[in-house]
Amino acid sequence: MSERETPRQDDGHEAELIAAEAIGDVIEHWGFRRVLGRVWTILFIAAEPLPAAVIGERLSLSAGAVSMSLTELQRWGVVRRVFKPGERKEYFEAETDFWKMISKVFDERERLLAESVRARLERAVTMLEARPRLPGAEQRADRVRRLLSFVIVAETALDGFIRSRRVDFSPFGDLIRFPLRVATRKRRA
């Protein structure tokens, strides 16, 4: 950013940066910009509202990048702006209820796509039905209908899944300290 000063993270924040990178990767993997995950994590770990400048320092980001990230995180409802009485500058804090975050993001993110995908697949079915004499058209229409059914089933199922989790965990407060069963995991990068 300026003149080759070692990224100086011997200020007691190495651990946070490691965690921030890890969560940044997760978030990127789920289709967001990595920096959003990093910023959110810094706020989450801090456990108290921080001003934009502090975030920029810890993550070595320009003021502009921090500002944009915070704006976007607020749009997703996972970071809140906090006004401290008697303070000029603004503070930001992380939402801490994970399932609330996830369902909100899910809602926002998927609704439009799901609708547009449904509409387009329906259109494709209609088009294929309109020319039943085209060789294979009926078979192809079948395939597209199947795609459509699957999209709807998956959508409904996922939605139910997220809903049910929210209910499962909220009784424990917004803290999830119990890995319940840590068994058969899966997945990768």
Give the footprint of DNA on this chain (CB under 7 A). Answer: 1, 33-35, 51-53, 60-68, 70-71, 88-90
Q: Which is nearer to DNA, 52 or 128 (CB)?
A: 52
Query: If residue 50 lies in a helix (H) or strand (E), which one and from where to where?
Result: strand 50-51
Burial class (CB in 10 A: 0-12, 13-18, 19+), 12: exposed
Compute the distance between CA of residue 145 and CA of residue 170 in angstroms, rounded to an integer: 38
1-9, 40-48, 54-62, 69-77 -> range binding its own copies (CB under 8 A):
40-48
Choose the one of DNA, its own copies, none that binds residue 68, judging by a C-beta under 5 to 8 angstroms depending on kind: DNA
Task: Measure Cα distances from 170 to 19, 52, 161 in Å.
Answer: 24, 30, 14
Count of Cβ atoms closer than 10 Å to residue 3 Cβ? 4
Q: How near is the Cβ of 28 to its own copies at its closest, in Å?
A: 9
Structure tokens at 121: 């697949």
Q: How near is the Cβ of 26 to DNA at its closest, in Å?
A: 15
When binding is defined by CB under 8 A, the residue of 14, 61, 68, 78 that contacts its own copies is 14
Residues 101-130 that bind its own copies (CB under 8 A): 103, 106-117, 120-121, 123-125, 127-128
Query: If residue 141 lies in a helix (H) or strand (E), which one and from where to where?
Result: helix 137-169
Q: How near is the Cβ of 2 to DNA at its closest, in Å?
A: 8
Q: Which is nearer to its own copies, 74 or 103 (CB)?
A: 103
